[in-house]
Amino acid sequence: MNYKKALQHTIFKTISQSAKELQMDSYVIGGFVRDFLLQRGEAKDIDIVAIGSGIKLAKQVANHLPNKPKVQIFKTYGTAMLRFDTIEIEFVGARKESYNENSRNPIVENGTLEDDQNRRDFTINALALNLSETHFGELLDPFNGVSDLKNKIIRTPLNPDITYSDDPLRMLRAIRFATQLHFTIEERSLQAITKNNYRIEIITKERIVVELHKILESKTPSIGFLLLEKTGLLEYILPELTALKGIDEVDGQRHKDNFYHTLEVVDNISKNTDDVWLRWSALLHDIGKAPTKKFSKKLGWTFHGHEFMGSKMVYHLFKRLKMPLNDKMKFVQKMVLMSSRPIILAEDMTTDSAVRRLVFDAGDYVDDLMTLCEADITTKNPRKFSKYHNNFKIVRDKIVEVEARDHIRNFQPPISGEEIMETFNLKPSREIGLIKEAIKEAILEGNIPNEYNAAFELMLEKGNELGLTKT
């Protein structure tokens, strides 16, 4: 079949002309072709295979383009990249690969287009469109990738056992594509992933996290995490999650399976936010439950302090996966630590004081926290579901009302430590902290408004109690 309509962008004619000048054949391959056939929207990156030097072709193309874009060369991999319009184009010479057991980095030799298609991870990524002048737009599909696209199947071009063992990152990519595209991984591939799951340990943590992010950013992340668990990969990557699996029973009392509950929460929150760090918060919000689980004859199953334990575990998890130990991590920690607070408010009569404290502690993230807690409602009882969400609406309305009146978010005390020192002629001391704390508590409890005059009066009163004299 011919797909000239896929190659309407002027860049393809330029590549075709440049390849002709160099007397080499060239093809667009992989994701661009796959996504065109799936009608997934405009491409942001294009992979070009040259039967010859990809670097030479990239330079030739750049010379023909307006403003002659810079060509980035990666000699180690024999690839080159340039940007044109909003598109990133990568050029590589056709190659065949072989692997040794301890690395996913292949030994590369020059090869044919057939060699290059053989080395591709999945049949749907081995599709190529010819860019030569005489066969422009012709599809080369040696592994029935078009059929797999139609049938929504993830399948490897060659023996899946070898494909996944050679480059174990492909196991995560298979699961990621299945999640993003709502495809099924064919049974032989699934068995090969399970058989080779231990090989994931040779993959860098950074590459693993890239794939985890893409799974989390998908419309229904649970698809990916269920596949990770089914194939045994999750135990190697996020054992904190697999530790949540299972239901214990003592004296007829059971608790819910916190692993499957967690995946429901992640899917719920994904309907309401694209923020990957808030989705991470949903994924990790209950990880403290495994180490804090206890059974009491009076109370049944308890998970006391699981939020605090979970927030500490977030740091160790981020560090192990070489994720950023910065404000993103602190955000996830805060969400995990506070994940039960709005639920407690929603269960009880919501007082202004409780809402002020929630806003004070959550700061700018109070809306994110509410979104997380609303996603945490997974009960199948329609009455309970409706009750919780109605109560959360009350809490949200109360937050707006209290914030408009009391300005607690990102709270700054009306009286500074410097003013307390000047008022009572103090040097840095314990008394300053006691006075500031008394003012803060009085505002949060609603005993005084969040205003300077009221705070000043309380400062004098508290100073007098501490035996201090206004100068």
What residues does 93 pair with on adjacent strands?
50
Q: Which residues contact 95 (CB under 8 A, 6 or more apart)?
A: 78, 108, 109, 110, 111, 115, 116, 119
8 with 141, same domain: the answer is yes
DSSP E strands in 55-121: the ranges are 72-74, 79-84, 87-93, 95-98, 107-110
**What region, left, alpha or beta, does residue 81 occupy, with left being phi > 0 and alpha being psi -120 to 50 degrees?**
beta
What residues does 112 pair with on adjacent strands?
none
115 with 217, same domain: the answer is no
81 and 72 in contact (C-beta within 8 Å)? yes
Mean pLDDT of the chain, nearest integer: 90
Look at residue 122 and tell me if it is in a domain: yes
DSSP summary character for residue 446 = T
60 pLDDT band, cuts 50/70/90, is very high
Domain termination site, one of 193, 214, 237: 237
- pLDDT of res. 301: 66
What is the sign of the dihedral through the CA atoms of 347, 351, 354 and 359? positive
Residue 30: how many other CB atoms lie within 10 Å: 24
170 with 227, same domain: the answer is yes
Block residue for tokens 């422009």: 136
Domain that holds residue 137: 4-146
C-alpha–C-alpha distance, residues 360 and 338, integer Å: 12
Query: What share of the chain in percent tops pLDDT 90?
Result: 63
The CATH number that applies at residue 173 is: 1.10.110.30
Domain termination site, one of 146, 169, 192: 146
18 with 85, same domain: the answer is yes
Token pair, residue 279, equals: 């989705």
192 pLDDT band, cuts 50/70/90, is very high
CA distances from 340 to 23, 155, 376 (A): 66, 42, 9
64 with 96, same domain: the answer is yes
198 with 127, same domain: the answer is no
Taking residues 278-302, report their average pLDDT.
Answer: 86
- pLDDT of res. 99: 57
Block residue for tokens 């860098």: 204
Look at residue 403 and tell me if it is in a domain: no
Residue predicted with more confidence, 398 or 311: 311
pLDDT tens track for 434-465 = 999 999 989 988 899 888 999 999 999 999 99
Classify residue 335 as exposed, middle or buried by CB count within 10 Å of its CB (0-12, 13-18, 19+).
buried
169 with 75, same domain: the answer is no
Taking residues 107-133, report their average pLDDT.
Answer: 88
Q: Given the DSSP bridges, would you call strands 45-50 and 87-93 parallel, antiparallel or unpaired?
A: parallel
What SS3 class is residue 421?
A: helix
Block residue for tokens 């390849």: 19
82 with 196, same domain: the answer is no
172 with 88, same domain: the answer is no
**Domains identified in the chain, total number:** 3
